[in-house]
C-alpha cells in the first residue's frame, strides 16, 4: 500500500519504476500483437474491426463479454455468409471466483475470427495455426469436438487433435437468444478466438464450432 501511494504522489522508488515499466512493456507488446493480427487478417482479405470499449453492442448485456456480440444479427441470418475478424475489449463478471488463477481476468482483449456459413472447422483451425506460426508458436494439440474431427486433417507435424466434449463458450452463453444451444441446428458458423491478457505471460486459444 505504501509503495502504491508513493507511486501516486510521484515518489518514484526503484521498485515502483520497475512495476510501471513491466506494465508498460506488457501493454506495448499487446498493442503490437493486435496490430500484427489485424495485418494478418487483412492479408487474407478478411475485414477487421478494432474496438477498445467494453460498452455492449445491444441491450442484452451490461458490458461486452465477447467479440461475437456485435455479430449476433449475422449469426441469426441464414441468408448471410462471410468471414470477419476483430479485436474486442471484453469485461466478464460471470466467473469472478476464477479471476487471478492465471487464465481468468476481469478485463481482456479478445482476438476473434467469425465465419458465417463460409469456413469449415478445418479452415478455422488452420487459420489460427498459421497465425501462431508467424509468432513462432506451435501448439502441441488442438481441442476439437469428436463429431467434427473428420473436417480437419492436421497439416503441421507434431500437432495432434485432442477430443473433448464440453461447453467451450462459458460466459459467451450470456449472449441471449443467439447462444449456440438455441441456434445449433439453424445456422452453421465457425467462431474462434484468442484471449489477449496484457498482464499475463500466456494467452489461451480455442476453436469453437456450431
Say if 1 falls within a structural domain: no
**How far lies 158's CA from each of 33, 47, 129, 175, 190, in Å?**
25, 31, 12, 36, 24
Euclidean distance between CA atoms 19 and 14, whole angstroms: 9
Q: pLDDT category, 177, cuts 50, 70, 90?
A: very low
Range of the domain at 99: 45-209
Top-confidence residue, 162 or 8: 162
Query: Cell numbers at residue 169, please?
Result: 463458450
- 38-59 pLDDT, tens digit each: 999 999 999 999 988 888 888 8
Does some domain include residue 40? Answer: no
φ/ψ (deg, to 5) at 207: -115, 125
Gap between the Cα atoms of 181 and 173, Å rounded: 8
- Kindly list the distances between the CA atom of residue 124 and the CA atoms of 53, 84, 92, 155, in Å, as whole numbers in the listed order: 26, 12, 25, 13
Question: Would you say residue 161 lies in a domain?
Answer: yes
Q: Examine residue 179 and state whether it is found in any structural domain, yes or no.
A: yes
HEC-encoded secondary structure of the chain? CHHHHHHHCCCCCHHHHHHHHHHHHHHHHHHHHHHHHHHHHHHCCCEEEEECCCCCCCCCCCCCCCCCHHHHHHHHCCCCCEEEEEEEEEECCCCHHHCCCCCCCCEEEEEEEEEECCCCHHHHHHHHHHHHHHCCCCCCEEEECHHHHHHCCCCCCCCEEEECCCCCCHHHHHCHHHCHHHHCCCCCEEEEEEEECCCCCCCEEEEEEC
pLDDT of residue 97: 79
Residue 155 lies in a domain: yes
pLDDT digits (tens, 9 = 90+) for 85-129: 999 888 877 777 777 776 667 788 888 899 888 888 888 888 988
Q: What angle do CA 115, 119, 122 make, to 5 degrees?
A: 125
For 169-195, what is the mean pLDDT? Answer: 39
In a domain, 9, yes or no: no
Report if residue 58 sits inside a domain.
Answer: yes
Domain presence at residue 108: yes
Q: Which residue has the higher pLDDT, 26 or 70?
A: 70
- pLDDT band, very low/low/confident/very high, at 139 (cuts 50, 70, 90): confident
Q: How many domains does the chain have?
A: 1
Amino acid at each position: 500500500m505504501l509503495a502504491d501511494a508513493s507511486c501516486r504522489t510521484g515518489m518514484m522508488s526503484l521498485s515502483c519504476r520497475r512495476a510501471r515499466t513491466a506494465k508498460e512493456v506488457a501493454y506495448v507488446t499487446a498493442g503490437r500483437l493486435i496490430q500484427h493480427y489485424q495485418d494478418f487478417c487483412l492479408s487474407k482479405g478478411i475485414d477487421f474491426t478494432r474496438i477498445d470499449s467494453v460498452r455492449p453492442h445491444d441491450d442484452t448485456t451490461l458490458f461486452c463479454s465477447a467479440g461475437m456480440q456485435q455479430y449476433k444479427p449475422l449469426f441469426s441470418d441464414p441468408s448471410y455468409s462471410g468471414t470477419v475478424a476483430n479485436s474486442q475489449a471484453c469485461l466478464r463478471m460471470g466467473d469472478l471466483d476464477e479471476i487471478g488463477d492465471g487464465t481468468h481476468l476481469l478485463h481482456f482483449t479478445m482476438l476473434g475470427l467469425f465465419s458465417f456459413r463460409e469456413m469449415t472447422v478445418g479452415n478455422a483451425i488452420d487459420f489460427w495455426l498459421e497465425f501462431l506460426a508467424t509468432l513462432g508458436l506451435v501448439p502441441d494439440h488442438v481441442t476439437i469436438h469428436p463429431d467434427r474431427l473428420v473436417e480437419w486433417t492436421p497439416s503441421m507435424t507434431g500437432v495432434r487433435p485432442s477430443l473433448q466434449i464440453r461447453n467451450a463458450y462459458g460466459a459467451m452463453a450470456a449472449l441471449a437468444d443467439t447462444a449456440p444451444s438455441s441456434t445449433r441446428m439453424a445456422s452453421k458458423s465457425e467462431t474462434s478466438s484468442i484471449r489477449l491478457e496484457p498482464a499475463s505471460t500466456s494467452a489461451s486459444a480455442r476453436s469453437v464450432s456450431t
